[in-house]
Structure 1
């Protein structure tokens, strides 16, 4: 072989037209058409604009209900992105993509629900002396009030 026509060390001999995409040029089923991308974009814009309008216009008074509505819109938007932009479905990659997505959703759900549960119970079971109503309003702790210079700073803060 001449010096100008050397094979790439990572490629097997005879694969000059392999572009490293991992698929052949005839495999266009995994890629979306322009119609799919436009549909996904329009749905994503709508699914962003509606929650934005709901929050800005204060259309829902109850904050818990607003949170649930926003989470529902977010979940639908995730599905739109997965279908139209990532082209994931039960048939892609032999179903392994969808299985990994389901696993990720389960782990994220467990993490989020567990974190919310811990934060709620930590707040609920907080010691009575540590509740915000019983916290002192002064800026200098009592143990430091006798220190030189602390009275001057405390008087300025009042």
Structure 2
């Protein structure tokens, strides 16, 4: 009985180079996204666009390198290929909904937080003005 790990090692000459390269490229893409975020003077919008591009590239990289998207078998039927394509499209849809929803919720939360900050500043300024008026009336 053949061990699947043995056949993997024989195919890659002992080291699964495809996986090692994919892993290193994933780390590089993550490091680049962090560098763009913390070390550049780009606007927030530009940083978000760059991060989304890196995220898309990393997702594609992982599909190709780790999920064996390019590998096919002659035994697979046309229906299996259609099912796989449908699953990929559904997964992409779910990922887009999660990312877009997260950005929307976080930005709406910050807008509400900023709105409360402005209300409290306005309230504090009004209170200071009322106190000054009270002090002026006592003279």
2:30 to 41, 48, 54: 48
Q: In the TM superposition, what whole-angstrom CA distance separates every residue of 1:108-151 from its partner, at most 9, and x where no partner exists?
A: 32454456557768988x8xxxx4222456xxxxxxxxxxxxxx
Question: Whose RCO is larger (CA < 8 A, sep 6+)?
Answer: 2
Structure 1 contact 60–66 (Cα < 8 Å) conserved: no
TM-score (norm 1): 0.49
Q: For 1:83, what is the secondary structure of its paired residue?
A: helix
1:61 to 22, 34, 42: 42
Evaluate the alpha carbon distance shift between residue 100 and residue 122 of structure 1 in structure 2; reply closer, same or farther with a 3 A threshold.
same
Q: Which residue of 2 aligns with 1:84?
A: 65
> Unmatched 5+ residue regions in structure 1?
1-16, 138-158
Runs of 4+ in 1 over 3 A off after TM superposition: 89-93, 110-124
Q: For 2:69, what is the secondary structure of its paired residue?
A: coil
TM-score (norm 2): 0.55
Q: In the TM superposition, what whole-angstrom CA distance separates every residue of 1:34-56 from its partner, at most 9, and x where no partner exists?
A: 22112212211221221222223
Structure 2 CA distance for aligned equivalents of residues 38 and 60 of structure 1: 33
- The more displaced of 68-77 and 37-46 is 37-46
Bigger radius of gyration, 1 or 2?
1
Evaluate the alpha carbon distance shift between residue 86 and residue 64 of structure 1 in structure 2; reply closer, same or farther with a 3 A threshold.
same
2:119 to 119, 134, 137: 134
In the comparison of the two structures, how many residue pairs are matched?
108
> Unmatched 5+ residue regions in structure 2?
125-139
1:105 to 85, 92, 101: 92
**Structure in which a larger fraction of residues adopt helix:** 2
